[in-house]
Structure 1
Amino acid sequence: MPLSMPPPRLSSPLAACLSLALLTSGCAYLQGGGGQVADPDSPACAPFRQWQDTGGGRVEVYASLRDEVGEAMQAAWDDFARCTGIHISYEGTGEFEAQIQVKIAGGNAPDVAFFPQPGLLARFVESGDALPLPPGAAQRAEEGWTEDWLDYVEHGGELYGTPLGANVKSIVWYSPRFFADNGYEIPETWDDMIALSDRMAGDGVTPWCAGIESGEATGWPVTDWLEAAVLRQYGPEVYDQWVAHEIPFDDPRITGSLDRVGEILRNPDYVGEVQSILTTSQQDAGLPLLDGGCGMYMIGSFYASNFPEGTDISPEGDVFTFDLPEMNPDVGRPVLGGGEFAAGFADRPEVVAFQEYLATVDYADRRARAGAWFSAHVDSDLDALLNANDRFAAELLRNPDTVFRWDGSDNMPAAVGSGTFWRGMTDWVNGDDTGDVAAYVENSWPV
């Protein structure tokens, strides 16, 4: 998922819990924000004692999370700021991928930035701008996350990012009530899913919601489809080779997987007018699930916050998700997902303290209680997750048998993953030949 995607709408539980978090945090009597502390010795500030000797200071944070989502994130570290006297200045943007490069090239790097794309972060590791995690943050990261997560930000034996939020992308949204009313069942295999799509079409239901418009990031939802298909059909080894460019983008296995995706996304019997996908925003595309306007929508777990206030997100409710069915019984159901990493560009004491705190389970649980978010931290409190779908996705990631792979486009070189890959998938939806599109992306790969 690109960091520049517009902010999702939030359901009422998030808004309510954000207010509740601020009122019941235990630091409500601390006067002011931005590091002004009334009583740092209070019991409410006990979780932050180890960082109270930094002498305050200011930390500039840059990311894409805006509006209510950005506010919820800041609320999760608000008590840390008040109890340590560290002022945390946050800026959210819808053009992170482009602007983070402008900032760093211009000598105006933020102290900390949140990257959903390890491939983009790697660019700044190679340039020497990004700094290795401070030892305290690195230790906490190693204790809190599995190698499946940390490998993406390890360079030269050092970690350059702390995992933050997590999401699962190899899932399908549907309406349990609509399925029950029409006698539809969750498919167990890809062929079952195609058969269900045919049945829905025969019933006069549009089987699939689809929309790929996302501003400068238009096209990214199709990358998730292709990544999930490659991972499920050929397994993690081939997937890793593809993402690392050890096999070309136009390898027959990749183009074959894209053609399988085309059985759905370029099929007017399944999606309606195919051209409409180009102009339908990914935020709005899944909303017809609520009134039977479509049957299924494949997009990440983060989509929960796009549904209107009062939507019942539960296994028997208005909407929920199921794991994308297996395509190859020898591969099973590896999980495709993503998230964000916090990377540092300064090493002042207050920046180090903030990076250490972001790597704690305390931060993960406080952010989870603010709603519409979960972490892959091994010790995170699942009971802190207010959304049943977040818990479903978090349990998938925590399952010791789960094979997890990061979103491929986010881990490819930025010029490809958030450039030619997005544009190529847009052209493909618009009718361009599969082989031509794959060759276009392949030829764009940095030498």
Structure 2
Amino acid sequence: MFGHSGSSRSRVALAGALGVGLVFGLAACGGDKDGDSSGSTDSAASSIDCAQFSQFGELKGKTVSVYTGIVTPEDAPHKKSYEPFEKCTGVTVKYEGDKSFETQILVRARAGNPPDLAFVPQPGLLQQLVATGKAVAAPKEVADNTDKWFGKDWKAYGTVDGKFYAAPLGANVKSLVWYSPAEFKDKGYTVPTTLDELKALSDKIAATGSKPWCAGIGSGDATGWPVTDWVEDFMLRLNGVDAYDKWVKHEAPFNSPEDIAAWDAVGSYLKNDKYVNGGLGDVKSIASTTFQDAGLQILEGTCSLHRQASFYAANFPEGTDISENGQIYAFYLPGKDATTKPVLGGGEFVLAFADRPEVKAFQYFLSTDTWANLKAKSSSGWVSANKGLKIENLTNPIDALSAKILQDPNAQFRFDGSDQMPAAVGSNAFWRQATAWITGQDTQTTVNNIEAAWPKK
């Protein structure tokens, strides 16, 4: 159901619970699509600078096809955000959303029938698509925008064998802990800024007789993936980004001392009877509780903390006040010290299979701060790592929090590790062994089994 993608997880969670709010803040993007590149008085075109597209020549009457796994209802604000571009240029954007995108895009590329542009949710899939020989490098205009508006870590994920192919699109933040601001205020708890403070807070809550944490890893065929996120977060925090990168690429074995240290750190929370599983049962109940249901225990008052990604906001009941002073909010899962800011997350990248002027123009548009702010105004539950994204344009407090984390100059972003690993590991052994670990398997056996699953070169 979830595929091998953190972005897929976010789409399922959102589509299943939240829907999409169309609070499009422009005065706006109605009207037809028969504009001209000289600039139009139509409000859609006048909301952006049409002159920026003149560098690509006359584009009126052209069509750009976009293929993506972003489907109804999340596709609506995407399409809406394209209207100023369409009005300015006279280009029609043909959007195709497909739940089977992650398998079908490879089929289409290999068959020589790719779209003009694809929104690719994993660096590993991006590399496979480039390997088909059908993808084209990003134009200089897009590379320049990426240098201007995104960090080097993001550009690196769109680069294959030293050649830059794909600018980032959307993003999600996984390094979050959900909590109740009201409970924290009532009980005098403070948001931790280091791992030591997080442990101290957990001990403080446990000392009251409550179980501080609630967790669930049930997810159908993908059961176990929430544990992999925990492990990845702690690999980053305990060992740093360089060690994390080597681990993901299997330049360091999965049963290395660094890897075992991360599992043991996660175990100090998830396999600690004093800490879990608030309102749900003992440690083993984590495996039988769905990831969607686990954090709801915070509203019940039976647990205080739940580590899950930004997209988890979609799972709280409609009408829940999710804000800094509301019923539910989240804080950044801290690093070893208050200045270290490792961030685990996911996102999509815009990969082209054609280099026609209209395709380049649309790629360029999607890589600008202009589009990021249009998209922010068009929907809830979406954020970008674009440095030009204005926080005030995000209508959702969790989106705003995520953007602040991504824009922190100290942030060191790393993509979800299991999404970059071979499928035999990232969406099989890692998930399965993590589940066995939760239900009683020891750490050494767990990491040895995952190491053994890595494909032999």
- Aligned residues of 2:13 and 2:311 also touching (Cα < 8 A): no
Find the aligned partners of 1:366 and 1:309 in 2 and give their Cα distance. Answer: 25
Instruction: Say which is worse superposed, 362-371 or 423-432, in terms of deviation.
Output: 423-432
Matched position secondary structure for 2:374 = helix
1:133-172 paired onto structure 2 within 5 Å: 133-172=138-177
| Closer, same or farther: CA 266–156 of 1 in aligned 2, 3 Å | same
Match of 1:4 in 2: 8
Give the structure 1 partner of residue 265 of structure 2.
260
- d(CA) in 2 for partners of 1:214 and 1:113? 27
* % identical equivalent positions: 43
How far apart, CA to CA, are the structure 2 residues paired with 1:57 and 1:348?
A: 10
Matched residue of 1:424: which SS? helix
- 2:241 is aligned with what amino acid? P
The answer for the alignment partner of 1:92 in structure 2 is 97
Residue range with higher mean Cα deviation, 73-82 or 360-369: 73-82
User: Is 2:18–2:315's contact at 8 Å kept on the other side of the alignment?
Assistant: no
Among candidates 386, 391, 394, match of residue 395 of structure 2: 386
| CA apart distance, 1:379 | 1.8
| Equivalent residue number for residue 127 of structure 2 | 122
SS at match of 2:169: strand
The alignment partner of 1:211 has SS state of coil
Report the counterpart of residue 354 of structure 1 in structure 2: 362
Name structure 2 gaps, 5 residues minimum: none
Task: Give, in whole Å, the separation in 1 of the partners of 2:108 and 2:428.
Answer: 19
> Matched residues in 1 for 2:96 and 2:273: separation?
41
Could you say if the C-alpha distance between residues 132 and 398 of structure 1 is closer, same or farther in structure 2, counting changes exceeding 3 Å?
same
Does the alignment pair 1:341 with 2:322? no
Q: Deviations over 1:311-363 (max 9, x none)?
A: 3222221111222133x449844222332211122333332222111111111
Specify the SS of the correspondent of 1:4.
helix
The amino acid of 1:246's aligned partner reads E
Aligned to 2:316: 307
| Aligned-partner residue type, residue 438 of structure 2 | V
> Greater shift after overlay, 6-15 or 311-320?
6-15
CA change 1:214–1:97 in 2 (3 A) is farther
| Rounded Cα–Cα distance in structure 2 between residues aligned with 1:169 and 1:210 | 15
The answer (yes or no) to whether the contact 1:214–1:281 under 8 Å persists in 2 is yes
The offset of 1:52, in angstroms, is: 7.7
* Cα drift, residue 233 of structure 1: 1.0
Q: Does 1:298 align with 2:307?
A: yes
Q: Which amino acid aligns with 2:390?
A: D
Instruction: Classify 1:66/1:293 alpha carbon distance in 2 versus 1 (closer, same or farther; 3 Å).
Output: farther
Matches within 5 A, 1:72-87: 72-87=77-92
The alignment's TM-score, normalised by the length of structure 2, stands at 0.85
Deviation at 1:131, TM superposition (A): 2.0
Residue type of the partner of 1:245?
H
Query: 1:380: how far off?
Result: 1.8
TM-score by length of 1: 0.87
1:319 maps to: 328
- d(CA) in 1 for partners of 2:18 and 2:436? 37
Q: Contact 2:61/2:90 (CA < 8 Å) preserved in 1?
A: yes
- Deviates further, 317-326 or 248-257: 317-326
Q: Which residue of 2 aligns with 1:176?
A: 181
Say which is worse superposed, 378-387 or 2-11, in terms of deviation: 2-11
**SS of aligned partner of 1:374:** coil
Q: How far apart, in 2, do the equivalents of 1:4 and 1:337 lie?
A: 12
Tell me how many residue pairs correspond in the alignment: 438
| Other structure's SS at 2:14 match | coil
Q: 1:72 to 1:213 in 2, by over 3 A?
A: farther
Deviations along 1:36-83, whole A, 9 cap, x unmatched?
559973253243452682233333323332333222222222332344
SS in 2 for 1:341: strand
Task: Give the whole-Å Cα distance in 1 for the aligned partners of 2:35 and 2:213.
Answer: 52
Mapped contact 2:231–2:263 kept (Cα < 8 A) = yes
For 1:250, give the aligned amino acid: N
User: Quick one: distance in 2 between partners of 1:214 and 1:92?
Assistant: 23
